[in-house]
Amino acid sequence: MISFTVEGIPIPQGSLRAFVLKLCRTCGGGNRAVLTSDNPRLKQWRKTVRAEALRAIGFEHPAGKHIPLRIEALFYLPRAKSNKMIDAVKKPDLDKLTRAALDSMTGVLFDDDSQIVEIHAFKSYGKPRAEFHVEEVGLLAVPIQHMPVSDSALPFSTT
C-alpha cells in the first residue's frame, strides 16, 4: 500500500470554460476552440499532489496497466467561519475533489485511472489537507467472467 498526505486546501477539478481564439493570417487564419479550467489554483494543486505521490513511491514506475487498484481519499477543508454547519455539506463537491486528485496521480501511481475499481472518498473539516491510500486489489475482488452459477450452488433458496 502507498500512503501520502498533501498539505493545503484541496482544490476541485471544476468545469471547463470554452472560448474561440481567432488565429492570425500568418498562422493560417480561422478560428480555434480553446478549453481551459475555471479554477486558476488547480494547476498548482495538481503539481503538489503529483510531487507527493512521487515522493511516496520513491520515484519508481507506476503500477502495471492491468493491475486493479483501490483508493481511499480523505479531504479536509478549512472550517467555515460560522459554527452553524456541522457537516461539510458545502462546496467543493467530493467527486470534483476526487477527480482532480486522480488525474494528478495518473502516470505516477498508475498508467490510467481506468485501473481504479474501488474508491472510498471522505470530506470533512480539519487542518486543510488530503490523505491518500492506494493499494492493489486482490484477484478475488475482480469479478470472474464466464462462470455460470446454478441455483443449487447458491447459499440461499431461490424458490
* Model pLDDT, residue 142: 47
Those residues with Cβ within 8 angstroms of residue 130's Cβ, 6 or more apart along the chain or in another chain: 5, 6, 10, 49, 73, 74, 75, 76, 97, 101
Q: Which of 125, 122, 130 is nearest to 77 (CA)?
A: 125
Helix-then-strand count for the chain, H and E: 2, 6
* Model pLDDT, residue 56: 92
* Model pLDDT, residue 79: 78
pTM above 0.75, yes or no: no
Q: Which of 63, 79, 47 is nearest to 135 (CA)?
A: 63
- Fold type of domain 2-140: 60s Ribosomal Protein L30; Chain: A; (3.30.1330)
* Model pLDDT, residue 70: 95
* Model pLDDT, residue 40: 77
Q: Please list the pLDDT of the chain residue by residue as tens digits (159 residues).
A: 899 999 999 999 876 556 566 666 666 666 766 555 557 789 999 999 999 999 998 866 666 677 899 999 999 998 766 655 555 567 788 999 999 999 999 988 998 888 999 999 999 988 999 999 999 987 644 455 555 656 666 666 656
Q: Can you state the angle between helices 94-105 and 42-57, rounded to 10 degrees?
A: 50
**Domain positions in the chain:** 2-140
